[in-house]
Amino acid sequence: MGMSDNRPVRVRMAPSPTGYFHLGSARTALFNWLFARHTGGKFILRVEDTDRTRYVPDSLQDIVDSLGWLGLDYDEGPGVGGDCGPYFQSERLPIYHEWSDWLIRAGHAYRCYCSEERLDALRREQAARKDEALGYDRHCRYLTAAQRSEHEAAGGPSVVRFAMPTEGQTSFTDVLRKLKPWENSQVRDPVLIKSDGFPTYHFANVIDDHFMAITHILRGDEWISSVPLHVNLYRAFGWEMPIYAHVPLILDPSGVGKLSKRKKRAAGDEELLTFVREYREAGYLPEAMFNFLAIMGWSYSPDTDLFTREQAIAKFDIADINPAAGALPMSKLDWMNGHYIRQLAAADLTERIAPFWSQESGIPLEQLHADPALPIVVPLIQERIKTLAEGWDLVDFAFVAEINYEPTMLIAKGLNAAQTLAALKSLHRVLAELPFDEAVLDPALRNLAGELGLKVGQLFGILRVATTGKAVAPPLFGSLLALGRERVLARCTRAEELLRALS
């Protein structure tokens, strides 16, 4: 886009490690990543871990794993390094203190000694008065030097507050939306450094974006209301401001932050899952996820929703983000996932689906991989599944010693048990004699149907049930090959016994 800014593009993802990586965060990360890759800029991961009370230990690993799974590699950050580290805010405390001292000396910030009790009482008073400008009353902003020294000498706890302009307005430009100016009087001297010495989100965020030379801030629109303070901080420091683009949330806010307990989605459930890890566990491909997230608020082309990473990189522009976009339904993702599954080479799909089938069947992964039936059945179901969590119930017959089914299922429509038994015996004979090869078996069995005066569908149906135990199964000849002649013949023998008992 025609940005006036001519610094090299640097964008960042700045998650707080307070929970698993959310779908909305992934979409924001994706847009940042696309913009960095499109412009040849840098994508940075910074961990905003200053809120110790909300810290969730395994969430950073989840964020890093999820970014990796989606292929959103970062150029600087945890585990990667870079010139602007440390990339954990908890390791940057001296930097925040240095610059809060600077602001105090410059008269843009001050120490506040107000006790929790005083602040509570203030809040209650304001609520009772229905005071519109809720917030700190700036009591400590106007302390005399003597009062200040007294507080310092007493050595009690204190915070650092920003001395917001008390009048006038603050406005800023957002690439994606028009925003009304804010009244400065509404922002009442927010805390920059808490009494425990940790910075607040606002302060650390501005300091880091500056020292990490961030040029564009692309993030969720829930942060819009904090920008007026940030703008005033940039002004107080005399620093160049980044370019802002706030993107809309894509999820029902009720899902935000909650750890979902759902394991499996009910068919037809259109509601999006909450966390990236849930999509991975539900058998979605990262290729599909990437594509799906990209079209939540961005459009590649009016003609198609399907595109590769390279195509998206080539075309991506912040200015094309739709600021009004909402969530897409799961059915769209299912459709996309089916598309990307069909695109995979069979060996690749085998590699990816085996862990899901192993989990579902309880068959150890190595055993499944060693089974010669696996590479035969995967291509048979490739066209039929929408997620990697599917397909096992179509192919399980090829991996178990015995199949169980209702014997009457064997009886072909229009035939009785005795006629079906006779047909099966003929099948058995042909299958025992001929080379086990689709090119030979297919015409031979069609021929046999003619000889027996049966429809091809009737004959194939009998054989399908006898060998797979299912009325609906993958293509017949592929299924026979997956089983191998020996098992096919044994299952025919077993089916003949069942039919004899019925006739």
Cβ-based neighbours of 429, under 8 Å, separated by 6 or more: none
Residue 469 as a binder of ligand GLU (CB under 6 A): the answer is no
Quote the least distance from Cβ 114 to ligand GLU, whole Å.
26
Nearer to ligand GLU, 16 or 382 (CB): 16
Is 78 among the residues that bind ligand GLU (CB under 6 A)? no
92 counts as binding ligand GLU under rule CB under 6 A = no
**89 lies in the binding site for ligand GLU (CB under 6 A):** no
By CB under 6 A, tell whether 335 contacts ligand GLU.
no
Stretch of 9-17, 191-199, 303-311, 363-371 contacting ligand GLU, by CB under 6 A: 9-17
At its nearest, how many Å lie between ligand GLU and the CB of residue 231? 13
Strand 109-112 and strand 42-45: the pairing is: unpaired
Q: CA 252 to CA 327: how far, in whole Å?
A: 8
How many whole angstroms separate alpha carbon 459 and alpha carbon 466? Answer: 11
For position 49 contacting ligand GLU by CB under 6 A, the verdict is: no
12 DSSP assignment: E
414 three-state secondary structure = coil
Which tokens is 373 given? 């039936």
Residue 84 phi, psi dihedral angles, 5° rounding: -110, 20
The residue from 178, 261, 263, 413 that is catalytic is 261
> Per-residue string for binding with ligand GLU, 214-233, x by CB under 6 A?
-----x---x----------
Among 9, 11, 14, 427, binds ligand GLU (CB under 6 A): 14
Q: Is 425 a catalytic residue?
A: no
Position among 16, 66, 274, 387 found at the interface with ligand GLU (CB under 6 A)? 16
> Cβ closer to ligand GLU: 16 or 170?
16
Does residue 59 belong to the site contacting ligand GLU (CB under 6 A)? no
Q: What are the strands, taking DSSP E only, across 152-197?
A: 159-162, 169-170, 182-183, 191-193
Stretch of 8-16, 57-65, 329-337, 407-415 contacting ligand GLU, by CB under 6 A? 8-16
Reported as half-sphere exposure (CB side, CA atoms, 13 A), residue 32 has a value of: 32
Question: Min. distance of Cβ 59 from ligand GLU in angstroms?
Answer: 11
- Residue 55 or 307: the one with the smaller Cβ distance to ligand GLU is 55
What x/- string results for residues 196 through 215 when contact with ligand GLU is judged by CB under 6 A? ---------x----------
* Contacts for 348 with CB less than 8 Å, ≥ 6 apart: none
How many CA atoms does the CB half-sphere of 219 hold within 13 Å? 20
Residue showing tokens 């690749």: 348
| Contact residue for ligand GLU among 48, 62, 189, 390 (CB under 6 A) | 48
Q: Supply the minimum distance, in Å, between the C-beta of residue 325 and ligand GLU.
A: 19
State the sign of the Cα–Cα–Cα–Cα dihedral 463, 468, 473, 476: negative
Distance CA 214, CA 343 (A): 38
Q: 182 vs 244, which CB is nearer to ligand GLU?
A: 244
Q: Which stretch binds ligand GLU (CB under 6 A): 13-21, 174-182, 373-381, 427-435?
A: 13-21
Q: Which is nearer to ligand GLU, 199 or 283 (CB)?
A: 199
Kindly state whether residue 385 participates in binding ligand GLU, applying the rule CB under 6 A. Answer: no
Shorter beta-carbon distance to ligand GLU: residue 49 or 334: 49
Taking CA atoms, 15 is separated from 61, 81, 205, 386, in Å, by: 12, 17, 11, 31
In whole angstroms, the minimum distance from the beta carbon of 88 to ligand GLU comes to 12
CA distance 397 to 471: 12
Transcribe 276-324 into DSSP letters.
HHHHHHTT--HHHHHHHHHTSS--S-SS-S---HHHHHHH--GGG--TT
| Catalytic residue list | 261
Residues making contact with ligand GLU (CB under 6 A) = 14-16, 48, 205, 219, 223
